[in-house]
Amino acid sequence: MMKIEAIIQPSRFESVKEALVEIGIEGMTVIEVRGHGRQKGHTEVYRGREYTVDLLPKIKVELVLPDQLVNQAVDAILKSAKTGKIGDGKIFLTRVEEAIRIRNEERGESAL
Amino acid sequence: MKRMGMWCCSVLMLWLLGTPLLAQTPSAVASASSPATASTPEVPPAVTDKLNALEAKVVKAQSSADNAWMLVSAALVLMMTGPGLALFYGGLVRRKNTLAIMMQSFALMALITVRWALVGYSLCFGGSGPVIGDFKMALLRGVGAAPNPDYAGTIPQSTFMIYQLMFAIITPALITGATAERMKFSGTVLFMTLWFLIVYAPMAHMVWGKGGFLNASLGGRFPTLDFAGGTVVHITSGVSALVCALYMGKRVGYPKQAMPPHSMVLSFMGACLLWVGWFGFNAGSALASNSLATSAFVATHFGAAAAALSWSLAEWVKNGKASALGAISGAVAGLVAITPAAGFVGPRSALGIGFVAGIFCYLMVTKFKAIFGYDDSLDAFGVHGAGGTIGALLTGVCARASVNAIFGEGKPVGGLDGHWGQVGNQLVGILCAWGFALLGTMVILKIVDVTTGIRVAEEHEVEGLDITQHGEEGYNLES
């Protein structure tokens, strides 16, 4: 099992979701986050006073998938989230030890 | 490019200011062609009765029309404080102080109203002293359906009274823009009560009250033209705001910490409500539903529009973008500056005054404040003090007898009429307003400081005034 954490542009979220549903992925967790990588922020000016806003709004999609689905999912996210501009985000993969379904205490991949 | 833009601006400005009102048709002079006929043939009593009845009906019809407009105007002016100013200021503060700043405006709606009934109206409009009124109309004694011919001969005095009250409410509310995010609620209540009695009441009497030494229509020594409150409302509140900001000191973290407005949307709605309400403020100051009201309405609108454009233009040249906050701040600055002039100038002068005010206030808010480093949180001085002063001055320049022959038929009014002495009179009025506001506010701040205290504790300021002063939150996102 692998966990995919994809941090993407909010404007790309709908197409990422559609792409994931298309390859048969049923569950995901979505979090509104703020941050920046190389993109940095922008400045806002209110009555002559400048403010630097360096944390920008992003969407983080979290998925835990059986190994054989991971490559497919990563490809789907890459294709649907890319605009080609700086600030498109990142994908992180981590190995997951265990998954448990709370309702019936199923364990392992069948709990996903 | 920049220089050319500036050059164009100044040419446009000069043209707007300098153009004599060529196209202005002289206001309809009431044809007084009713010389008493020398020998009246006998009129049957029935005809006399009919004529009398007709005359009474005409008077009643005019009173009804004027009264309708004045009641609407009074409501419009109240709308400027709540929700207008409350939203405008509410959006500009940080989220934790939203409710507190709105509550200050609302509290004044109640507080000043009660003070007005007790002594306020009488102190502003009673008696005929040069500086302040008297107590004859305290508790609104004798204020009823009968008109008060000194001020507004066609509407019930009660209408005049309630209309003027709305001005007394918004004036102190403007000051809360400078004390925002750090003044105690108890201190605010005490400060505003004293300020209303010590600064507003005398100033209103001097400029608008019978016998007031700055009154232009009732024979003041230095007739100051102030149609709707450039000196009485905006200079007094703006200058007091500056004194408060200097006395209280900066907010914790200012200017290092970012303090951007928490909701430009609220401010935007507030500013638009202010613009609409200002028609009641300025056009209502004609105190009748007549052509002067129309003239003031038009001038008000043009002044606001020109200032919104000039502030935006200045910002565009400087920052490369025209912001929404700049546009609405400009509109308010224009409305402030046109306030004293509204009933004395034509539409072209109004455009000129608005254009100048937008740029002037932009510089006051961005440059002047930065140089001196005071923390006028929401720019009550930069917009109202500065805009009121430039407006009162330009009123002396641009006022025309063809719009409002306030000094008598055929007599020149302002500088463009050839009466440059009026600019001197305006200066006297401006200096009085500045002086009264400076001294009065300093005394009041001292009194408040030793009684209730002025500023909240530092940890309360950090936590926010919504919770620490009122025990509630403007935004309860979890509920």
Q: Which of residues 302-321 of B touch A (CB under 8 A)?
A: 315, 318-319, 321
Q: What is the CATH number of domain A2-111?
A: 3.30.70.120
- Residue of B67, B383, B97, B392 whose CA lies nearest to B229: B392
Whether B291 and chain A come into contact, CB under 8 Å, resolves to no
Whether B373 and chain A come into contact, CB under 8 Å, resolves to no
Q: Do B366 and A44 touch (CB under 8 A)?
A: no
Whether B261 and chain A come into contact, CB under 8 Å, resolves to yes
Average pLDDT, integer, range B45-64 = 95
Whether B51 and chain A come into contact, CB under 8 Å, resolves to no
pLDDT at B19: 45
Q: Do B365 and A48 touch (CB under 8 A)?
A: yes
A51: chain B residues, CB-CB within 8 Å: 258, 260
A56 or B333: whose pLDDT is higher? B333
Q: Do B260 and A47 touch (CB under 8 A)?
A: no
Residue holding tokens 């008598």? B408
Contact B280, B339 (CB under 8 A): no
Contact B199, B125 (CB under 8 A): no
Q: What is the pLDDT of residues B433-468, one digit of tens each?
A: 999 999 999 999 999 999 999 999 999 999 999 999
Q: What is the pLDDT of residues B382-434, one digit of tens each?
A: 999 999 999 999 999 999 999 999 999 999 999 999 999 999 999 999 999 99
The ipTM is: 0.75
B379: chain A residues, CB-CB within 8 Å: 47
Taking CA–CA distances from B312, the nearest residue in chain A reads A47
pLDDT-wise least confident of B29-33, B202-206, B215-219: B29-33
Q: What is the architecture, at CATH level 2, of domain B65-467? A: Orthogonal Bundle (1.10)
Contact B373, B174 (CB under 8 A): no
Residue holding tokens 């404040």? B369
Q: Residue B4 — pLDDT band, cuts 50, 70, 90?
A: low
Tell me phi and psi for residue B126, to 5 degrees.
Answer: -85, 160
Residue holding tokens 């100038």? B345
Q: Which of residues 46-85 of A touch B (CB under 8 A)?
A: 46-49, 51-52
Tell me phi and psi for residue A58, to 5 degrees.
Answer: -140, 170
**E strand or H helix at B62:** helix B45-79
Q: Is B291 helix (H, G, I), strand (E, B) or coil?
A: helix
Give which of B366, B374, B376, B377 to mutate to test A binding, by max A Cβ within 10 Å: B366
